[in-house]
Amino acid sequence: MNLKVNLAGVELKNPIIAASGTFGFGKEFSKLIDINQFGAISTKGLTLKPHKGNPSPRIAEVYGGIINSIGLENPGIEHFIENELPFLKQHDIKIIANINGFTKEEFYEITKLIDDSVDLIEVNISCPNVKNGGMSFGTDPNMVYDIIKLVKKAAKVPVIAKLSPNVTSIVDIAKSAQSAGADAISLINTLRAMAIDIKTRKPHIKQIIGGLSGPCVKPIAIRMIYECFNNINIPIIGMGGIMNYKDAIEFFLAGSTCISLGTVNFINPNAILEIKNGIIKYLSDNNFTSIYELRGNIII
């Protein structure tokens, strides 16, 4: 069965991507699984300069998911290119650099430094865990337009806009990204959420509010992908609570060309293999020959 997909001009051997921030730079996971199983890996969010992130505790378990407030802890773009990228390049996977800026100009600068050292750039305009930039950029269609336009000006490789679900109209944001020249969109990032420990009466995470991911967010992701698929014409990378192959099929039916695995990586590192085999079986049992026959193929 052929699982190949074309993501904004880049051919992926299969449509499954490791979601940014849940797979580091691949090294730790490579001790547990063969990371070549993925079609692509989206790196931990990268900033222009090293960034230490938010204070602990910054992860809390809730029903059906987790709330995190990592706050973009990362070693910075130059360290990534020198020390982490060579390891990823040894593998048969496409590499997506997930980038972040605290100002518009930082998005431009970091894109310049990346040059063509990776296969695609994913612009995170949707992180709910940083004070400046992040989600506040991703909820304003004009700001989304400006940032994507700037990144496109500097980029040597295709550009993916990673959108925030913390908006009233995801379609308006997706259209803005598309009209600025985005080659694809990723959705969804995490949803602003909060949990309280009733013994201590303190919020579970130090930042009080964090980003919710995992199976509890899946129906929201499916709805947003469905809405965007019907209103834009660039590929969609769908994510948000994929735990097994049935979830993955749902994301393709809603309109995704690729899917990303995030929270599930913390629970079951073998998910990639199980999901890939499940997709192959589903395609074959239903007489489909490619992901494209499945994509957006729902009956209303």
Ligand X SMILES: Cc1cc2nc3c(=O)[nH]c(=O)nc-3n(C[C@H](O)[C@H](O)[C@H](O)COP(=O)(O)O)c2cc1C
Residues within the interface to ligand X (CB under 6 A):
19-22, 44-45, 66, 68, 70, 72, 98, 124, 127, 162, 189-190, 213-214, 217, 239-242, 261-264
Instruction: Give whichever of 242 and 253 is closer to ligand X, judged by the CB atom.
Output: 242
Instruction: Give whichever of 32 and 284 is closer to ligand X, judged by the CB atom.
Output: 32
Smallest gap from Cβ 263 to ligand X, in A, equals: 3
Smallest gap from Cβ 46 to ligand X, in A, equals: 8
DSSP classification of residue 36: G
Instruction: Give whichever of 266 and 282 is closer to ligand X, judged by the CB atom.
Output: 266
Can 127 be counted among the known catalytic residues?
Answer: yes
127, 216, 228, 258: which is the annotated catalytic residue? 127
Smallest gap from Cβ 35 to ligand X, in A, equals: 16
- C-alpha–C-alpha distance, residues 21 and 15, integer Å: 18
Query: What single string gives the DSSP state of each residue in 127-196?
Result: -TT-SSSTHHHHT-HHHHHHHHHHHHHH-SS-EEEE--S-SS-HHHHHHHHHHTT-SEEEE--PEEE--E
Smallest gap from Cβ 248 to ligand X, in A, equals: 11
Instruction: Give whichever of 269 and 288 is closer to ligand X, judged by the CB atom.
Output: 269
DSSP classification of residue 214: S
Three-state DSSP state, 260: strand
The residues assigned a catalytic role are 127
